[in-house]
Structure 1
Amino acid sequence: MKTLKPLRLLPLVAMASFGLLFTACNGDKTKTAEKADTTAADTAANLTLPAGFTAAVIAHDLGSVRHIAISPQGGIYVKHKSAGGNAGILYLTEANGAAEVKKSFGTFDGTGIYLKNGYLYASSDEEVYRFKLNANNEVENPDAPEKIVTGLLARHQHEAKAILLDDAGNLYVNIGAYSNSCQVKDRTKESPGQQGCPILDSAAGIWQFKADKLNQTYKDGVRYATGLRNVVGMDWNKTRNQLFVMQHGRDQLHDNWPALYTEKQSSILPAECMFAMNKGDNAGWPYVYYDQEQKKKIVMPEYGGDGKKEGDSKFIDPAAAFPGHLAPNGLLFYTGSQFPEKYKNGAFIAFHGSWNRAPEPQAGYFVVFQPLKDGKADGPMEVFADGFSGSAENTAKGAATHRPCGLAQGPDGSLYVTDDVKGTIYKISYKK
Structure 2
Amino acid sequence: MKMYVTSVLLLAATASFANCSGGDSTKAVKPNTTVVADADNAGLKLPSGFGALTVAENVGRARHLTVTPQGNVYVKSSKLVDGKGILELKVNANGKGEIVKSFGTFTGTGITIKNGYLYACSDEQVFRYKLDANNEVINPNAPEVVITGLLNRHQHENKTVALDDAGNIYVNIGAYSNSCQEKDRTNSSKGMMPCPILDSAGGIWKFKADKLNQTYSDGVRYATGLRNVVGLRWNTQTNSLFVMQHGRDQLYQNWPQFYDSIASAELPSECMFELKQGSNCGWPFTYYNHLIGKKMVAPEYGGDGKKVSTDPAFQDPVAAYPGHMAPNDILFYTGNQFPEKYKNGAFIAFHGSWNRAPLPQKGYFIVFQPFKDGKPNGDWEIFADGFSGKEVVTSTRSAEHRPCGLSQGPDGSLYVSDDSKGTIYRIVYSGK
Tell me, yes or no, whether TM beats 0.5: yes
1:319·1:375 contact (CA, 8 Å) conserved in 2? Answer: no
Give 1:79's match in structure 2, choosing from 76, 79, 103. 76
* Aligned counterparts of 1:190 and 1:34: Cα–Cα separation in 2: 52
2:288·2:295 contact (CA, 8 Å) conserved in 1? Answer: yes
Matching residue of 1:41: none
Aligned length: 397
> In the TM superposition, what whole-angstrom CA distance separates every residue of 1:382-431 from its partner, at most 9, and x where no partner exists?
100000000213x2443210000000000100000000001000000001
* Aligned counterparts of 2:37 and 2:249: Cα–Cα separation in 1: 34
Task: Specify the SS of the correspondent of 2:140.
Answer: coil
Of residues 371-380 and 228-237 in structure 1, the stretch that sits farther from structure 2 once superposed is 371-380
Shift, 1:103, TM fit: 1.0
Matching residue of 1:231: 229
> In the TM superposition, what whole-angstrom CA distance separates every residue of 1:92-138 from its partner, at most 9, and x where no partner exists?
12112211112100001100001000000000000000000000000
Task: Specify the SS of the correspondent of 1:255.
Answer: helix
Shift, 1:360, TM fit: 0.8
Matching residue of 2:351: 352
Q: Please give the residue correspondences for 1:18-417 in structure 2 after superposition, counting only pairs within 5 Å.
A: 34=38, 46-83=43-80, 86-95=83-92, 96-311=94-309, 312-393=311-392, 395-398=393-396, 399-417=398-416
1:85·1:108 contact (CA, 8 Å) conserved in 2? Answer: no
* Aligned counterparts of 1:85 and 1:335: Cα–Cα separation in 2: 36
Cα distance change of structure 1 residues 153 and 84 upon mapping to structure 2, 3 Å threshold: farther
> In the TM superposition, what whole-angstrom CA distance separates every residue of 1:220-240 from its partner, at most 9, and x where no partner exists?
000000000000011111110
2:123·2:152 contact (CA, 8 Å) conserved in 1? Answer: yes
- The one-letter amino acid of 1:171's match is I
* Aligned counterparts of 2:412 and 2:81: Cα–Cα separation in 1: 33
2:332·2:345 contact (CA, 8 Å) conserved in 1? Answer: yes
> In the TM superposition, what whole-angstrom CA distance separates every residue of 1:124-179 from its partner, at most 9, and x where no partner exists?
00000000000000000000000000000000100000111111000100000000
1:67·1:405 contact (CA, 8 Å) conserved in 2? Answer: yes
> In the TM superposition, what whole-angstrom CA distance separates every residue of 1:317-344 from its partner, at most 9, and x where no partner exists?
1010000000000100000000000000
- The one-letter amino acid of 1:378's match is N
* Aligned counterparts of 1:360 and 1:390: Cα–Cα separation in 2: 18
Shift, 1:379, TM fit: 1.3
Matching residue of 1:19: none
Task: Specify the SS of the correspondent of 1:81.
Answer: strand
Matching residue of 2:14: none
1:169·1:210 contact (CA, 8 Å) conserved in 2? Answer: yes
Higher RCO by CA contacts (8 Å cutoff, separation 6 or greater): 2
* Aligned counterparts of 2:374 and 2:337: Cα–Cα separation in 1: 22
- The one-letter amino acid of 2:55's match is I
- The one-letter amino acid of 1:385's match is A
* Aligned counterparts of 1:338 and 1:232: Cα–Cα separation in 2: 27
- The one-letter amino acid of 1:90's match is L
* Aligned counterparts of 2:375 and 2:261: Cα–Cα separation in 1: 31
Question: Structure 2 stretches of 5 or more lacking a match?
Answer: 5-35
1:177·1:230 contact (CA, 8 Å) conserved in 2? Answer: yes
* Aligned counterparts of 1:56 and 1:422: Cα–Cα separation in 2: 15
Superposition TM-score, scaled by structure 2 size: 0.90
* Aligned counterparts of 2:253 and 2:404: Cα–Cα separation in 1: 28
* Aligned counterparts of 1:62 and 1:142: Cα–Cα separation in 2: 19
Shift, 1:310, TM fit: 1.5
1:123·1:129 contact (CA, 8 Å) conserved in 2? Answer: yes
Shift, 1:377, TM fit: 2.3
Q: Is 1:2–2:2 an aligned residue pair?
A: yes
Cα distance change of structure 1 residues 367 and 196 upon mapping to structure 2, 3 Å threshold: same
2:146·2:210 contact (CA, 8 Å) conserved in 1? Answer: yes
* Aligned counterparts of 2:160 and 2:82: Cα–Cα separation in 1: 19
1:206·1:224 contact (CA, 8 Å) conserved in 2? Answer: yes
* Aligned counterparts of 2:220 and 2:3: Cα–Cα separation in 1: 44
* Aligned counterparts of 1:138 and 1:253: Cα–Cα separation in 2: 47
2:42·2:52 contact (CA, 8 Å) conserved in 1? Answer: no
* Aligned counterparts of 1:34 and 1:175: Cα–Cα separation in 2: 39
Cα distance change of structure 1 residues 300 and 33 upon mapping to structure 2, 3 Å threshold: farther
- The one-letter amino acid of 1:400's match is A
Matching residue of 1:424: 423
Cα distance change of structure 1 residues 3 and 262 upon mapping to structure 2, 3 Å threshold: closer
Shift, 1:85, TM fit: 8.1
Cα distance change of structure 1 residues 84 and 150 upon mapping to structure 2, 3 Å threshold: farther
> In the TM superposition, what whole-angstrom CA distance separates every residue of 1:328-378 from its partner, at most 9, and x where no partner exists?
001000000000000000000000001111111111100010011233321
